Amino acid sequence: MQRNIIGRGVLAFIALAQFVAAQEVVRHPDSSQALSQRWAWAKQQTSQAKFKKGYWIGYSIKRVMEENSTIGSMHIENGRIFRDGKSLAELIYGIDIPLESLRSYQEKSHRKVVKDVGLFFLFDPRDAALAEIKESTFELSVDFDDFPLLWLGPAQDEQSLDLVESLYRAAASTKIKEELIGAVGLHGQSPRRRAFLAGILGGNEATDVRKQAAFWLGQIDDPEALRILRQAATADRSSEVRKQAVFAMSQMDWPEAEAALFELARNQDDREVCKDAIFWLAQKGSARAAIFLKEIIANGTDAEIQKHTVFALTQLPDKQGTPVLLEIAEKHRNVTVRKESLFWLGQSQDERALAILKKAAQADGAMEVRKQAVFALSQMKSTQAEEVLIELARNQNDRPICKEALFWLAQKASKRAVDLLKEAVQNDADSEIQKQAIFALTQLPDSEGIPMLIEIAQTHKNPAVRKDAIFWLGQSEDARATDALVKLVRGK
């Protein structure tokens, strides 16, 4: 009997918790009214006690979007979209839109559909100030922080823009202005939308606010918006805004925008804008972009821009840039550019790079390039790359590269690398190579080299080598090293 009573109590508690946690939605009775009238109605309602701690006012607009895209709060696991709580559709209209209706988040679809997007405005009743804005499509959920929602229904773009622009004029904080610009940006393409964003971009607002305006100008393929962004990218007083304008242009999916990026990438007078244009051209990944990047590296005179272009080559899709990197690493006249290319070849893990890296390590005319090639080999995870490093480390006739290879082999810390270091210390005829091998042993992870250093300090036939091992044991804070040094001092 007692178990039944307890069970009923738990159920009652759960039911009460669900009731308390339920989101309150107060709906306008006539969504055919003008948005301004419905907004005034909502403000009148907020004199009631339940709105005293804060409240949201929300309505929806139409937006053309890719069918598999969403706006709002979600989390993604294994390519699938998940939400927390009820969907907006269920909360407001009692009709759920299951997330299973969306295909995998990673599955791109460029088919355009019209979706409802909710715009939600949180007000602080203490001063009636706008405190936060949220946007969401209706298949996702929105956390309203337990404040009640006054729902006004759907709105036409022009009426919505009237409202949001008036809120912008009244806003004081940069954060709220940025959020309001985002709300304007979600509206469809129109001269009014463009004029509002362009006015902010070219005005006297804070840099972050103007950057937000630039971003949203780039979200719709609009020839006049492209002209405005191009002007900002070349002439705005702020380098941050100029760079944001470049990014915004890269989001436009049409040939005229790409042509404008090519123009900016050719103008090296504004180095930062030039570099950003190069980067975003690589992200777009057209065949023309790949050819253009190669030309900059081959014919450019600014080493910093050339280095940046080498990196941009790594951003081309499907490893389009790898053949160009291989050619640069082998043939480019500029040492800095060759080094940069070698670095990124090592990061690429592309087996095609092995032969070029080995050749550069053995025969490049500049020692700094040869050492960079050794480092690049050390960054590759394949056994073939390690074999090349071991081969370089065994070549005593090339002392600088031998020492470099020993050092980076120690960083890899494989069994073969450790065996090679022991072999170099015990058998190499060059004391400089032996000393480098000893130092390399100190670089092994988890103090793995300490027992070998102790053995060398105690037994090696060369006093200079023993002395070096003793020095590095002294630098260690390992208790085994301390014990060994004490015994050596005592002659044991």
Query: What are 396-413's pLDDT values in tens digits?
Result: 889 999 999 988 988 877
**What's the CATH number where 267 sits?**
1.25.10.10
Domain interval for residue 82: 21-155
In a domain, 206, yes or no: yes
> Which among 327, 324, 240 is positioned nearest to 289, based on CA atoms?
324
pLDDT tier for residue 220 given thresholds of 50, 70 and 90? confident
Can you list the alpha helix ranges (DSSP code H) found in 349-489? Answer: 353-363, 367-379, 383-393, 399-412, 415-427, 431-442, 450-459, 463-475, 479-489
Domain identity same for 239 and 195? yes
In a domain, 150, yes or no: yes
Domain identity same for 72 and 123? yes
Query: What is the pLDDT, as a whole number, of residue 418?
Result: 81
Domain identity same for 219 and 280? yes
In degrees and rounded to multiples of 5, residue 44 shows phi and psi of -65, -35
Query: What is the pLDDT, as a whole number, of residue 433?
Result: 83
Return the bridge partners of 77, or none: 80
Query: What is the pLDDT, as a whole number, of residue 492?
Result: 63
In a domain, 363, yes or no: no
Structure tokens at 204: 């006297």
In a domain, 126, yes or no: yes
Number of domains in the chain: 2
The count of C-alpha atoms lying within 13 angstroms of the C-alpha of 8, restricted to the half-sphere facing its C-beta, is: 4
Domain identity same for 86 and 51? yes
In a domain, 238, yes or no: yes
In a domain, 484, yes or no: no
In a domain, 204, yes or no: yes
Domain identity same for 51 and 144? yes
What average pLDDT does range 420-434 have in this prediction? 81
In a domain, 349, yes or no: no
On the question of pLDDT at 7 being above 50, the answer is: no
Distance separating alpha carbons of residues 139 and 103, to the nearest angstrom? 13
Query: What is the pLDDT, as a whole number, of residue 5?
Result: 33
Domain identity same for 203 and 91? no
Return the bridge partners of 176, or none: none
Distance separating alpha carbons of residues 218 and 315, to the nearest angstrom? 21
Domain identity same for 136 and 190? no
What average pLDDT does range 12-29 have in this prediction? 64
Domain identity same for 213 and 180? yes
Domain identity same for 144 and 89? yes
Query: What is the pLDDT, as a whole number, of residue 198?
Result: 98
Domain identity same for 276 and 193? yes
